[in-house]
Structures are given as structure tokens and as C-alpha cells.
Amino acid sequence: MAIRNIREIGDNVLTKVSREIKTVDKRIKVLIDDMLDTLYDAEGVGLAAPQIGILKRLVVIDVSEEGNDPIILINPEILEVDGSQVGNEGCLSVPGKVGTVERPNYVKVKAYDKNMEEFILEGTELLARALCHEIDHLNGILYVDKAIDGVRDLYEEVEEE
């Protein structure tokens, strides 16, 4: 298990569409473990494989308060969305920045677990936002492309409060 380098905005890998995972072999299992280690080390909510330079359709998310309840999504696909939420969004690949993004308030996703067994996941609020954000990464889309009012310095936001 290792902490990988997180690619930052401007890196071309972040604008490419990721490839489907056909089988979960030892390399994919190591990748999942490394992504979780990297996510927790960076104190993030989600991480997509392209963010560490791997163009595979793999996402890890952990929105639990304790940071010990990870969700692993292989080949995730959004099936249904509903409602709307507008709020600040950040990204490990866009450090120190934040932008206002509109996302669905409810999302239903089909994905595969690390045993390649299909499952359905439904999420609202933060989980819905994280699912959309991370799946966008798999399609070469960053939140800055969707920010309503551009991106701002995160540290300015903290000082104002």
C-alpha cells in the first residue's frame, strides 16, 4: 500500500476519458488500496483513478465522519438524478481553490465492487455531490468546468467567515 501523487489541474490526464475495468486482478486491488491510502492522507472525500494518473473507471469515496467507511465503485454509471443543490466544491486536483457548483441532490448509481459484483448505490446531499464529482473525473471533467462563478481562493473564504 502506498500514497500516490495527486495530479493537479493542467495535467492532461485529468481531461481524458477513463477506460472500463474488465477484471479485478492483483494490480487493481493494489490500486484500490493505494487510492484509499492517498485519499485518507490528503483528507479528501473522494478520489478518482485519473487523479493519480491512471485512466481506469475506478472511484473511492468516504463521506463518513470517522473516515473509515469507504465506498469503492468500479465502472460507475449514473442511472437517475433528482432535485438540485448549489454549494461550494473543492477538489484534491485543484488545491486551495473552491467554486460554487450546482449538482443533483439525489443520485442513483450502478457500479461494481472489488469482486466485480454489480450493486446499486443511492445518495443524497454530500454523497450525491461526491458521486457526481468523481464520476465527472472519469469523463475528463473537473468541477472548475461547471463552477457557476469561477473558482476562488479557499483561504479567502475561511478568512471572511
Per the CB < 8 A criterion, the answer to whether 93 and 8 are in contact is yes
Neighbours of 159 (CB within 10 A): 8
* pLDDT at residue 156, as a whole number: 63
For 103-144, write each residue's pLDDT tens digit: 999 999 999 999 999 999 999 999 999 999 999 999 999 999
pTM: 0.93
Among 43, 134, 157, 160, the active-site one is 134
Which pLDDT tens digits describe the chain residue by residue (161 residues)? 789 999 999 999 999 999 999 999 999 999 999 999 999 999 999 999 999 999 999 999 999 988 788 999 999 999 999 999 999 999 999 999 999 999 999 999 999 999 999 999 999 999 999 999 999 999 999 999 999 988 999 876 555 55
d(CA 10, CA 39): 20
Ordered by where they begin, the domains of the chain are 12-160 (3.90.45.10)
Strands (E), 20-133: 46-48, 58-61, 71-82, 85-91, 94-103, 106-112, 118-124
Q: Has 43 been annotated as catalytic? A: no
d(CA 54, CA 27): 12
Question: What H or E segment, with its residue span, contains residue 152?
Answer: strand 151-153
